[in-house]
Structure 1
Amino acid sequence: MNNHNLRMSRHPSPAAPYGGAITDVAGIEVGHFTDSRRPTGCTVILAREGAVAGVDVRGAAPGTRETDLLAPGNFVQQIHAVMLAGGSAWGLAAADGVTRWLEERGVGLDVRYGTLPLVPSAVLFDLPVGDARIRPDAGAGYAACEAASSTAPAEGNVGAGSGALVGKLFGVHRAMKGGVGTASVTVNGVTVGALIACNALGDVVDPDTGRVVAGARTEDGKTLLDTRRALLSGHLPTPLLAGTNTTLGVVATDAALTKVQANRLATAAHDGLARAINPVHTMSDGDTLFALATGRVPLQGDAPGMTVLGALAAEVVARATLRAVHAARSVRTEDAYFPCAADLD
């Protein structure tokens, strides 16, 4: 594919629902790198002072790095960043740039012979959009860190969501544009936020109304098919290459959690994906959610406990997923067109 044939729609997207951002959580910063040569990129979620972390991988085709260290029984207690990227497994190289950037600033675990930043990472498959030979690398990860701040991050066709698509169960040619979304809620002094890069095989659904917002289109490409109803009526999916999808995300809270609790938070957060994506956690998705706890607020007194935190995590994940497709813009390549939610309104 020729990069110079990429065109992005100027059609305004509908107003994104909900509000807030993962950076509303004290101690969290976000930076994007978006490649100008084709829609791909990476997103870094920084916790410079360290954060207790967990992870839950639900898709059957994940691409990850350093997730084993987040198991509750393993030695490491805190990490310093999470990197999300496009480019499939090649995109994991972006984590090297994040590690270098943090090391230069003295952020990491003291291992006597150096300061070692811990950067668990995950990737999604965005190779159908533009020239697949262009993938995020260490320079991209470094640039994302340089752009990081505690202000609300950009959404839509940015960072890890630059080349994201949704609704590919009946062929990539009937898919729509996905992207990055973020949201947060605060209850009794505790904030929970999420950032999602939505590149799902399934449709994205508004959990409050049940309406499909973006996903597989009808054969003429003009309207939404509704994948769930199509499957129930006997429509057969198009044969798929395994691992060509994946929704990634990070849930963060300022609550003080243990590693066991952080892992449970990541597990509960997947309920939000299940509310907003259908089907989800498929054999062709590598759906992975990380949880970060910056520990600014102790869980005592009127602060919400783990049951409430789990409910909040699921809620912000669902909201961020919905925002990802509302904020997305359409993309045209040399041989394909991927509309956004606004184009079908």
Structure 2
Amino acid sequence: MTSSICDVAGIEVGHCTDGRRPTGCTVVLARAGAVGAVDVRGAAPGTRETDLLAPHNVVDCVHAVLLSGGSAFGLDAAGGVMRWLDERGIGLAVGPATVPIVPAAVLFDLPLGDARIRPDAQAGYAACEAATAHAPAEGNVGAGAGAAVGKIFGYARGMKGGIGSASVTVDGVTVGAIVACNALGDVFDPATGRVLAGARSADGLALLDAQEALLRGDEPRPILAGSNTTIGVIATDAQLSKVQAGRLATQGHDGLARCIRPLHTLSDGDALFALATGASRRSLGMMTLGAMAAEACTQAVLRAVRAARTVRVGEQFLPAAADIP
């Protein structure tokens, strides 16, 4: 087992990372289609096709999910994913046409380098071309290339975020997650309580623990709405209905809350998608599947910041967890 979302049968992942500045996009492909759902918890999301995934709406089959940097501009990359799928005849049959269903979510990574450089349709297409069923790269790649965490006391005191993936298997059924962590808050290890990456002290040499700082009365710096976000995809080979997939996305947020604090703020656009391929031809109870989704999301976030590497672009400096004692 590779312990990634690609352990789920029917799922492939591809990254496109822009070499001109830290940004990029990540696609999660389900070529045969998957039951899709979403749960958006952040107050400042940047998304596409999330209304379609509501349980009271008709379409329940998704062919890909895009995670992208570039803020709202990055939603353009979904057009490239649609083109790639369309060229292969993958999509929902609608009369004379086949329409690929590609929900998407974006994160804000514009402060690093030239903000005019962001993922576009060509980047989305390239991510599809790179997609495989092997464990995806983690850290400073794809949608995690420009991600940062711990910006609650200002961007200059934050650290490098990234993208990570993990999976859990119980009784022959697998739940995996891939998460791009660009949180306003800190990332901490729930097993030890230790902050791994987040807001740094004023001198930049030590971790602060933003939660403790807020509770003792330290004033956060004003943060623009939507300038932070943790986005991801949960996938399972269990057979689920659209309502059940929605519950899986909801419980995935429990996993984020175990390792990110604060979470779901007015400045975050946190969103998790869920895909159920049904490839195992079986299921487990939703209690167990929900616990698996939460655990996979927690581990994906931890792997994202542990795999991250320090970035310096002009005057912007974001140290990685590995570089802060």
TM range (shorter): over 0.9
CA deviation after TM superposition for structure 1 residue 19, in Å: 6.3
Gap runs ≥5 in structure 2: none
Alignment deviations for residues 83-105 of structure 1 (CA, whole Å, 9 cap, x no partner): 00000000000000000000000
Amino acid at match of 1:310: G
The alpha-carbon deviation at position 114 of structure 1 amounts to 1.5
- Whichever residue aligns with residue 321 of structure 1, its letter is V
Gaps of 5+ in 1: 1-17
The match for 2:136 among 150, 153, 156 is 153
Equivalent-residue separation in structure 1 for 2:156 and 2:56 (angstroms)? 44
CA distance in 1 between counterparts of 2:2 and 2:191 reads 15
The amino acid that maps onto 1:292 is L
**Which of 276, 293, 311 is the aligned partner of 1:331?**
311
Amino acid at match of 2:194: R
CA distance in 1, matches of 2:2, 2:122: 31
Q: How does 1:111-130 map to 2 (within 5 A)?
A: 111-130=94-113
Is contact 2:2-2:135 (8 Å) kept? Answer: no
State the Cα distance separating 1:80 from its structure 2 match: 0.1
Tell me if the contact between 2:238 and 2:284 (Cα under 8 Å) persists in the aligned partners: no
CA distance in 2, matches of 1:23, 1:341: 25
* 2:294 equivalent to 1:314: yes
Q: In structure 2, what is the equivalent of residue 274 of structure 1?
A: 257
> What's the CA shift string for 1:196-246, capped at 9, x where partnerless?
000000000111111100000000000100001101111010011111000
Q: Tell me, yes or no, if structure 1 residue 188 matches structure 2 residue 163.
A: no
Residue 71 of structure 1: aligned partner: 54
> Secondary structure in 2 aligned to 1:312?
helix
Corresponding residue to 1:166 among 139, 145, 149: 149
Work out the number of aligned pairs and report it. 325
2:5 aligned partner: 22
CA distance in 2, matches of 1:33, 1:97: 12
Structure 1 equivalent of residue 322 of structure 2: 342
Question: Corresponding residue for 1:220?
Answer: 203
Describe the superposition over 1:157-187 as per-residue Cα deviations: whole angstroms up to 9, x where unpaired.
Answer: 0000000000000000000000000000100
What does residue 234 of structure 1 align with? 217
Picking from 180, 186, 206, the partner of 1:197 is 180
Moved more, 19-28 or 54-63: 19-28
Q: Secondary structure at the match of 1:304?
A: coil
Specify the code of the residue in structure 2 equivalent to 1:134. Answer: I
Q: How far apart are the structure 1 equivalents of 2:221 and 2:205?
A: 19
Distance 1:28 1:62 in 2: 25
Aligned to 2:37: 54
Partner of 1:284: 267
What root-mean-square deviation, in Å, do the aligned CA atoms of Structure 1 and Structure 2 show?
Answer: 1.0
Residue 143 (structure 1) aligned with residue 123 (structure 2) = no
